[in-house]
Amino acid sequence: MEDAREMRLLITGGAGFLGSHLCERLLRDGHEVISLDNYYTGSRQNIEHLVSNPKFETLRHDITFPTYLEVDGIFNLACPASPVHYQKDPVQTMKTNVSGAINVLGLAKRLNVRVFQASTSEIYGDPQVSPQPESYWGNVNSIGIRACYDEGKRAAETLFFDYHRQYGVDIRVARIFNTFGPRMARNDGRVVSNFIIQALANEDITIYGDGNQTRSFCYVDDLIEGFVNLFFTDEIHVPVNLGNPQPITMHQLAQEVINLTRSESKIVFKDLPSDDPRDRKPDIARARELLNWEPRIDRETGLQKTIDYFSALA
């Protein structure tokens, strides 16, 4: 791989929650960074503080259309990631996953550069094994309301590995588990931001289902460290889970948020949405072995940082 300190890197979805943090990290490491985003769910505010950096560029562009840039590497993060947003326009979500993957892979093939795919734990569907290792093929409802995202990401992985096998494209694939931190969108419907916003307003905290379903939450700084380690490590042409292996029930999470915010909120329960997985717990043995990576920021510390961010927005 070329000297990591001198690369010109394209980040699709660069104005999103994860993308903006990745832009920051790569700039801090000395790279030139191009953020490409159509601002469907990303926000100009997320990257406004970077615009004055001479090594940073931003382009408004929809990745479902080809882009012709000269770069040394690509991170493909473009896709709405919360059910509220990806279910709003499921056809466009599928196009972003599939056509977007084809376009970034075509660019990587033409330029002969490394390309990183931000995949997801949702490719495992409602899992029948726990924790979920990369060898697990998943349990996805291909015609359900979440399929535009779940199957779209699965199709994108297929394209990445076919481009690698057929054309020799140098790929990296990260399967991202639940991540949280500053710059989560207020309206994205994700559980951590929902709970914090409701708690800060002393409103009822809404849990869908009985509250016993589990998720494993990774703080954003840890995840970005995993991205960087994976991208800059040679010869890893297998999917790698990135997430926190410590699960928590939704009821426990709601109580933690109430305690940390000193909120007067009460917990209320509503019907569980269709195809909502009961369990999310990554097996990160591969990340530990290949990248020497595991989360280091504990949940309480991460939650407090996220609470401070949303408090400042109020």
DSSP annotation of 130 reads: S
User: Would you say residue 2 has pLDDT above 80?
Assistant: no
Residue 142, domain CATH: 3.40.50.720
CA proximity to 173, closest of 113, 99, 119:
119
Domain of 94? 4-180+218-245
Is residue 5 over pLDDT 70?
no
Q: What are phi and psi of 210, to 5 degrees?
A: -90, 0
Whether 285 is covered by a domain: the verdict is no
Residues tagged active-site:
149
Q: Is residue 159 part of a domain?
A: yes
Q: How many domains does the chain have?
A: 1
The answer to whether position 210 is within a domain reads no
Burial letters 213-252, b for 16+ CB under 10 A, else e: bbbbbbbbbbbbbbbbbbbbeeebeebbbbbbbebbebbe
Question: Which of 110, 116, 107, 14 minimizes the C-alpha distance to 60?
Answer: 14
Q: Which secondary structure element, helix H or strand E, spans residue 7, and what is its range?
A: none
Band of the pLDDT at 3, cuts 50, 70, 90? very low
- For residue 260, being part of any structural domain is answered with no
Q: 3-state class of 11 per DSSP? A: strand
- Say if 307 falls within a structural domain: no
93 in any annotated domain? yes
Over residues 238-244, the mean pLDDT reads: 98
